[in-house]
Chains A and B, each alone.
Chain A
Amino acid sequence: MKNSKYLPLMATFVVFVLAYIICISVFPNMLSTRVAGNLLTDNAFLGITAVGMTFVILSGGIDLSVGSVIAFTGVFLSVILRDTSIHPLAAFAIVLVLTTAFGAAMGGIIFFLDMPPFIVTLAGMFLARGISYLLTTESVPITHPFYSTLQDIYFLMPGGGRLTLIAIIMLVVFAVGIVLAQRTRFGTYVYALGGNLTSAQLMGVPVAKTTIGIYALSGFLAGLSGIVFSLYTSAGYSLAAVGVELDAIAAVVIGGTLLTGGYGFVAGTFLGICIQGLIQTYIVFDGTLSSWWTKIVIGLLLFGFIALQRGLMWMSERSARNMRHASAAQPSSA
Chain B
Amino acid sequence: MAVPTIVRERTPQLIVLVVILALNAIISPGFFSIEIQNDRLYGSLIDVLNRGAPVTLLAIGMTLVIATKGIDLSVGAVMAIVGAVAASLITSGYSLPATLAGSLFVGLACGLWNGALVALLDIQPIIATLILMVAGRGIAQLITEGVILTFNDKPELIFVGSGSFLSLPMPVIIWVVVAILAILVVRRSALGLLIEAIGVNRRASTLSGVNSRVILLAVYAVSGLCAAVAGVIAAADIKGADANNAGLWLEMDAILAVVIGGTSLLGGRFSLVGSLMGAMIIQSLNTGILLAGFPPEFNLIIKAVIILIILIVQSPASQAAMAGFRTNRHTVAVKTENREHAAR
Asked whether, in the complex, the Cβ of A130 is within 8 Å of the Cβ of B298, the reply is yes
Q: A124 to B137, alpha carbons, bound, how many Å?
A: 24
A residues less than 8 Å from B255 (CB atoms): 119, 122
Asked whether, in the complex, the Cβ of A116 is within 8 Å of the Cβ of B265, the reply is yes
Q: Which of A256-291 contact B (CB under 8 A)?
A: 259-260, 290
Residue-by-residue, is A121-155 near B (CB-CB < 8 Å gives 1, otherwise 0)?
01111110111011001000000000000000000
A83 within 8 A of B: no
A295 touching B137 in the complex, CB below 8 Å, given contacts A122-B255, A134-B297, A290-B146: yes
Asked whether, in the complex, the Cβ of A126 is within 8 Å of the Cβ of B304, the reply is yes
Q: How far is the CB of B75 from chain A (nearest CB, A)?
A: 14
Q: How far is the CB of B84 from chain A (nearest CB, A)?
A: 12
A residues less than 8 Å from B128 (CB atoms): 306
A157 within 8 A of B: no
Asked whether, in the complex, the Cβ of B71 is within 8 Å of the Cβ of A118, the reply is yes
B residues less than 8 Å from A206 (CB atoms): none
B10 within 8 A of A: no
Interface size bucket, A side?
A: 35 or more
A residues less than 8 Å from B311 (CB atoms): 109, 113, 115, 119-120, 123
Interface size bucket, B side?
A: 35 or more
A179 within 8 A of B: no
Q: Which of B281-319 contact A (CB under 8 A)?
A: 295, 297-305, 307-308, 311-312, 314-317
Asked whether, in the complex, the Cβ of B131 is within 8 Å of the Cβ of A303, the reply is yes
Asked whether, in the complex, the Cβ of A250 is within 8 Å of the Cβ of B134, the reply is yes
Asked whether, in the complex, the Cβ of B297 is within 8 Å of the Cβ of A130, the reply is yes
Q: Which of B108-144 contact A (CB under 8 A)?
A: 117, 121-124, 126-128, 130-139, 141-142
Q: A122 to B257, alpha carbons, bound, how many Å?
A: 13
A259 touching B141 in the complex, CB below 8 Å, given contacts A119-B311, A130-B300: no
Asked whether, in the complex, the Cβ of A122 is within 8 Å of the Cβ of B252, the reply is yes
State the majority secondary structure of interface residues on A. Answer: helix
Q: How far is the CB of B113 from chain A (nearest CB, A)?
A: 10
Of the residues A114, A123, A295, contact of B134 by C-beta under 8 Å: A295
Of the residues A119, A290, A307, contact of B265 by C-beta under 8 Å: A119
**CB-nearest residue of chain B relative to A293?**
B138
B266 within 8 A of A: yes
A residues less than 8 Å from B295 (CB atoms): 133, 137
Q: A121 to B299, alpha carbons, bound, how many Å?
A: 17
A residues less than 8 Å from B315 (CB atoms): 113-115
Q: A4 to B128, alpha carbons, bound, how many Å?
A: 22
A217 within 8 A of B: no
B259 within 8 A of A: yes
**CB-nearest residue of chain A relative to B141?**
A292
Q: A134 to B302, alpha carbons, bound, how many Å?
A: 12
Asked whether, in the complex, the Cβ of B130 is within 8 Å of the Cβ of A296, the reply is no
A133 touching B300 in the complex, CB below 8 Å, given contacts A122-B307, A295-B134, A295-B137: yes
A306 touching B127 in the complex, CB below 8 Å, given contacts A123-B311, A246-B133, A295-B135: yes
B residues less than 8 Å from A109 (CB atoms): 308, 311
B residues less than 8 Å from A310 (CB atoms): 121-123
A residues less than 8 Å from B134 (CB atoms): 246, 250, 295, 298-299, 302
Asked whether, in the complex, the Cβ of B130 is within 8 Å of the Cβ of A249, the reply is yes
Of the residues A119, A124, A131, A299, contact of B138 by C-beta under 8 Å: A299
Asked whether, in the complex, the Cβ of B121 is within 8 Å of the Cβ of A307, the reply is yes
Q: A293 to B240, alpha carbons, bound, how many Å?
A: 22
Q: A118 to B66, alpha carbons, bound, how many Å?
A: 13
Of the residues B117, B146, B266, B301, contact of A292 by C-beta under 8 Å: B146
Residue-by-residue, is B131-165 near A (CB-CB < 8 Å gives 1, otherwise 0)?
11111111101100010000000000000000000
Q: A124 to B308, alpha carbons, bound, how many Å?
A: 9
Q: A137 to B294, alpha carbons, bound, how many Å?
A: 13
Asked whether, in the complex, the Cβ of B300 is within 8 Å of the Cβ of A126, the reply is yes
A62 within 8 A of B: yes
A295 touching B138 in the complex, CB below 8 Å, given contacts A120-B311, A302-B130, A302-B131: yes
B residues less than 8 Å from A293 (CB atoms): 138
Q: A134 to B265, alpha carbons, bound, how many Å?
A: 30
Q: How far is the CB of A154 from chain B (nearest CB, A)?
A: 32
Asked whether, in the complex, the Cβ of B304 is within 8 Å of the Cβ of A299, the reply is no
Q: A109 to B312, alpha carbons, bound, how many Å?
A: 9
Q: How far is the CB of A318 from chain B (nearest CB, A)?
A: 13
Asked whether, in the complex, the Cβ of B124 is within 8 Å of the Cβ of A113, the reply is no
A294 within 8 A of B: yes
Which residue of B132, B134, B297, B315 has the most chain A CB atoms within 10 A of its CB atom? Answer: B134
Closest 7 CB pairs of A and B: A299-B135, A133-B297, A130-B300, A295-B138, A130-B301, A127-B304, A113-B315
List 8 A-B pairs, Cβ < 8 Å: A109-B311, A113-B311, A127-B305, A133-B295, A253-B127, A303-B131, A306-B117, A310-B123
* Residues in B lying within 8 Å of A, measured CB to CB: 71, 117, 121-124, 126-128, 130-139, 141-142, 146, 243, 252, 255, 259, 265-266, 295, 297-305, 307-308, 311-312, 314-317
